[in-house]
Amino acid sequence: MNRIIALTAAALLGFAAPAAATTVIKAGHGTHTTHPTHLALVKLAEIVDAKSHGEMKIEIYPDRQLGEEREMVEGLQLGTVDMAVVSTGPLVAFVPELGVVDLPFLFKNSQHAYKVFDSEIGQGLLAKFETRGIVGLAWWENGWRSLTSKKVVKSPADLKGMKLRTMQNPVHIAAFKELGAAPIPMVWGEVFTSLSQGVIDAQENPVTIIYSNSLWEVQKYLTLTRHVYGPHVALFSKIAWDRLTPDQQKILTEAMIEATAYQRETSARLETEQLKLLADKGMIIEDVDIVPFQEATAGTAAAFKNIDPAVVAKIKAAAN
């Protein structure tokens, strides 16, 4: 009652009531501002701003401004980064069980992937981040990974000895060794220069990454192997999460559902559009028979103790 009287008196005297403090969330990612992940973070910020009536703001730091992906994840643990959306590349070092989603040719199509990530399988994997001081919020889409190279690749034999950049992901590295390539793990910030200087001959990434980073300038061929479905994982610092009120946590959780749908739709649309644009830029786009690639990498899972065969079986069964 005293607070109401004080506020009324302040209004009568011409003083404005004190404004509610604004909660600022710093969110980082490693892609360009044209990538669907950045666009979805912009959408998320708009939704959160509207739902909180301006009391919550998300500041977005694209293109590794808050560090390389592993550095951002470490920042989440330390509380120096509030939120990050990263590829699975560095995450296996924090949650080894996550390696299962990086197995080659695991998912039949995007709908299969969405079904798995939104099910108890995907949510269970996100829950494992909590013991690492991180809150797993959602699975976004980086896209289907394919190969770019300086020479044509039509079969695994064409990869023999090829210096191919991969993420710092042991599952990806093992798969490309089985294909006969010489995989070189490398942070993304070094890739374009390494391709232009001949340090590496090839790399693999989704179409949206290939286009937004102008890789047509240093790579002639794009081979649509679609060997791995690449998720982006939306993560939040547990330290920062615990500073939010229950209402703020609810706002962010609900907004994430809407932003996730938007992100996936945008990713699929841009992949189709940008494939055409890459061809216009002069890249030679090759469709190949993926069966030899599937056969060559069939044993990848067996090399990893943290990949549960039962989980692999559940994921494959979800395609039916």
pLDDT(5) > 70 = no
Please, how many CA atoms are within 13 Å of residue 46, restricted to the half-sphere of its CB? 9
User: Which CATH number belongs to the domain containing residue 118 in this structure?
Assistant: 3.40.190.170
End-to-end CA distance of the chain: 61
What are the tens digits of pLDDT across the range 131-143? 999 999 999 999 9
Q: Can you tell me the distance from the alpha carbon of 102 to that of 302, in angstroms, rounded to the nearest whole number?
A: 13
What is the rounded average pLDDT of the residues 296-301?
Answer: 96
In a domain, 241, yes or no: yes
Number of domains into which the chain is organized: 1
Tokens at residue 291, please?
């069966």
Sign of CA dihedral 117, 118, 121, 122: positive
What are the tens digits of pLDDT across the range 99-133? 999 999 999 999 999 999 999 999 999 999 999 99
pLDDT(237) > 90 = yes
pLDDT(192) > 90 = yes
What is the rounded average pLDDT of the residues 288-317?
Answer: 96
pLDDT(14) > 70 = no
User: Which amino acid is it at 221?
Assistant: Y
Task: Report helix, strand or coil for 288.
Answer: coil
Please report, rounded to a whole number, the percentage of residues in the chain having pLDDT higher than 70: 94
Query: Using 50, 70 and 90 to split pLDDT, how confident is the model at 89?
Result: confident
pLDDT(268) > 90 = yes
- Confirm whether pTM is higher than 0.85: yes
Q: Which residue has the tokens 């706002």?
A: 251
Per-residue buried b or exposed e for 45-69, using 16+ beta carbons within 10 Å of the residue's own CB:
bebbbebbeebbebebbbbbebbbb
Tokens at residue 214, please?
């102008």
pLDDT(253) > 50 = yes
Chain-centroid distance of CA 101 in Å reads 12
In a domain, 40, yes or no: yes
pLDDT(320) > 50 = yes
Q: Can you tell me the distance from the alpha carbon of 63 to that of 38, in angstroms, rounded to the nearest whole number?
A: 9
Q: Can you tell me the distance from the alpha carbon of 84 to that of 89, in angstroms, rounded to the nearest whole number?
A: 14
Q: Are 104 and 293 in contact (CB under 8 A)?
A: yes
DSSP E strands in the chain: the ranges are 23-29, 56-61, 83-87, 134-149, 163-166, 182-185, 202-206, 221-237, 284-286
Q: Can you tell me the distance from the alpha carbon of 86 to that of 93, in angstroms, rounded to the nearest whole number?
A: 13
Q: Can you tell me the distance from the alpha carbon of 202 to that of 42, in angstroms, rounded to the nearest whole number?
A: 32
- The pLDDT, as a whole number, for residue 19 is 52
- The pLDDT, as a whole number, for residue 21 is 83
Task: Please state whether beta strands 83-87 and 163-166 pair in parallel, antiparallel, or not at all (unpaired).
Answer: unpaired
- The pLDDT, as a whole number, for residue 290 is 96
In a domain, 235, yes or no: yes
What are the tens digits of pLDDT across the range 17-75? 445 689 999 999 999 999 999 999 999 999 999 999 999 999 999 999 999 999 999 99
- The pLDDT, as a whole number, for residue 8 is 39
- The pLDDT, as a whole number, for residue 275 is 97
pLDDT(15) > 60 = no
- The pLDDT, as a whole number, for residue 10 is 39
In a domain, 163, yes or no: yes
| Domain boundaries, position 261 | 20-317
- The pLDDT, as a whole number, for residue 20 is 62
Q: Which residue has the tokens 């192997």?
A: 225
- The pLDDT, as a whole number, for residue 126 is 98
Q: How high does pLDDT run on average in the chain? A: 93
What is the rounded average pLDDT of the residues 254-278?
Answer: 97
In a domain, 15, yes or no: no
What is the rounded average pLDDT of the residues 252-256?
Answer: 98
Phi, psi of 243 (to 5 degrees): -80, -20
Q: Are 137 and 236 in contact (CB under 8 A)?
A: yes
pLDDT(239) > 50 = yes
Query: Using 50, 70 and 90 to split pLDDT, how confident is the model at 170?
Result: very high
Give the Cβ contact number of residue 80 at 10 Å.
16
Phi, psi of 22 (to 5 degrees): -90, 130
In a domain, 29, yes or no: yes
Tokens at residue 295, please?
């056969």
